[in-house]
Amino acid sequence: MPGDRDADSIAAVRDLLLRSDYSTSGIARLGIDLGMGARTRDVPVLLRALEPVEPLASLIRLFVLGQVVDGSAHEKTIGRAGSAALRRAGLTQVAGGAVAPNVRLTPWRGFVFAHDPDPDDDLWPQHVSGPTPAADTLIRLVSANGGDAVDIGTGCGLFAILLAAAQSSIVATDLNPSALRLARLNSHLNEVTVEVREGSFFEPVRDRAFDLVVSNPPFVISPETELLFRHSAFGRDEVSRDMVRSAATHLREGGFGYLLVNWIQPPDRPWIDVLASWLEETGCDAVGLLHGVEDPLAYSARWTAREQQLRPERHGHTLDRWLAHFRQERIEAIGSGAVVLRRRTGRNWSHGLELSGDPASEAGPHVQAIFAGRDVLARIEERGAGRDADLLRSAFRMREPHRLTQSLVARDGEYTADPATLAVVTGLALPLEVPNELVPVLLRLDGSQSGEDVAREVAAETGGDLDLLSTRIAGFLRELLQRGLLEPAPGPTRGPAFR
């Protein structure tokens, strides 16, 4: 495991990786689709797919495929200086004429991360993972905002390193010393400045305030406590609750927090109420993004899938232990998702949205648009009476790019239009079904006229009842604003302007 290494060796390793095009696209060019790294069981196939373009192929054999290689062949392809730099930086070790990798090196989002291998065996308590789908989901939500930032439970430093250049400062905390050694190494390898601090969650930064908080904490609810990156010593959903509340209290006015969370979902209670109850009296607005609510069996099966593959003979016993734990704790369902917080003085709101999948693209601007849309509604609601009228007096335009999809279905010799579906092209998976009668409304939301004018025009065109249509349009505008699909028209509008 590498520790704080001589800066020259790390700089030489960086140079070697850059010269060799050790990047997602460079590796793909040699026949390997990296995804989130390589699993041991895929190695025989990948080794045979690898094109022998050196020195990149040698680096891939070591740091993607985890192979032990012959020392002299290694020196020939990588060069004596490169080979020595890898060893001195702690990335390889040499024994009996063979070179073995100490870490995996995974390029991700334009950076490279040293981390522990993903073995085809049990993980160890202080295992430090590389980029994962969960990390990818969280980072896609984040908008860098230039201020002071903190990454709690940083692991090998993923978020801290990705965000460092865009923030004026960034602290990374973790309880796992192995994680922090890797986070330090990775910050040097990527030439970014990260202040790395050991300690439990916010404890190392307890007196500080931030403009940006990110955290993918060990949120899994289970009877286990062994794996530091997945299980916390906290019971039930305490770790998620505590992290959300702590993030809220460490945010400066206008600052944003982004966290992945799991929570105990009581029957008959809206899921967003659970998250909103965590935020009471914290001075933060929140957008909750629901990935799903699972029963204990589905949840247990998902989080024990590794054991199901590795030790199927033990899996039934493990599932029974998890299910007994959930019964004993009277947990009937578990929610999974993300929470985005913003500290704001005033009457705070919490709003929940159900995702239909992970964001396929960067969703930071979409998340910001949801906050902006919810703010518009909050200002109207604060004004009290005549809320629909207020909304309709304003001009809005649809955010672009968005996609409106509609199918024609043939029945009894005639085509009829299915309801249309509206979704952003870049952002969160939040498709909205648009009833056919509101499609003409949608097509007019270009910021050139108020909702009232749109209602009058469409009522005249379709012969519909103006009052009824106006009420529906107000509801539709509200829905669009809450989903970050609509924005106030720029410049002067008729009626009260939003300030």
CA 219, distance to chain mean position in Å, is 14
The rounded distance, in Å, linking the Cα atoms of 82 and 28 is 22
DSSP E strand boundaries for 69-160? 69-70, 92-95, 98-101, 104-108, 111-115, 148-152
Q: Structure tokens of 445?
A: 């939301």
Q: Tokens 């309709």 belong to which residue?
A: 392
Nearer to ligand SAM by Cβ, of 133 and 386: the residue is 133
Residue 112 near ligand SAM by CB under 6 A: no
Judged by CB under 6 A, the residue of 176, 348, 449, 450 near ligand SAM is: 176
Residue 173 near ligand SAM by CB under 6 A: yes
State the minimum distance, in angstroms, from the CB of residue 219 to ligand SAM.
7
Question: What is the identity of the amino acid at 49?
Answer: A
Residue 217 near ligand SAM by CB under 6 A: yes
The rounded distance, in Å, linking the Cα atoms of 21 and 29 is 10
Query: Which residues sit opposite 423 in a β-bridge?
Result: 403
**CA angle centred on 176, ends 227 and 195, rounded to 5°:** 145
Nearest residue to ligand SAM on Cβ basis: 153
> Number of residues in contact with ligand SAM, rule: CB under 6 A?
21
Residue 201 near ligand SAM by CB under 6 A: yes
Nearer to ligand SAM by Cβ, of 129 and 470: the residue is 129
Judged by CB under 6 A, the residue of 175, 189, 287, 480 near ligand SAM is: 175
Residue 203 φ/ψ, nearest 5 degrees: -55, -45
CA 32, distance to chain mean position in Å, is 25
Residue 257 near ligand SAM by CB under 6 A: no
Residue 216 near ligand SAM by CB under 6 A: yes
Judged by CB under 6 A, the residue of 174, 211, 237, 294 near ligand SAM is: 174
State the minimum distance, in angstroms, from the CB of residue 195 to ligand SAM.
15
SS3 251: strand
State the minimum distance, in angstroms, from the CB of residue 4 to ligand SAM.
18
SS3 394: coil
Query: Which residues sit opposite 421 in a β-bridge?
Result: 405, 433
Judged by CB under 6 A, the residue of 135, 164, 185, 377 near ligand SAM is: 135
DSSP E strand boundaries for 202-316? 210-215, 251-264, 284-294
Among residue numbers 149 through 168, which ones bind ligand SAM (CB under 6 A)? 153-155, 158-159
Judged by CB under 6 A, the residue of 22, 229, 271, 349 near ligand SAM is: 229
Among residue numbers 279 through 318, which ones bind ligand SAM (CB under 6 A)? none
Residue 228 near ligand SAM by CB under 6 A: yes
Q: Give contact residues for ligand SAM (rule: CB under 6 A).
A: 129, 132, 135, 153-155, 158-159, 173-176, 179, 200-201, 216-218, 228-229, 232
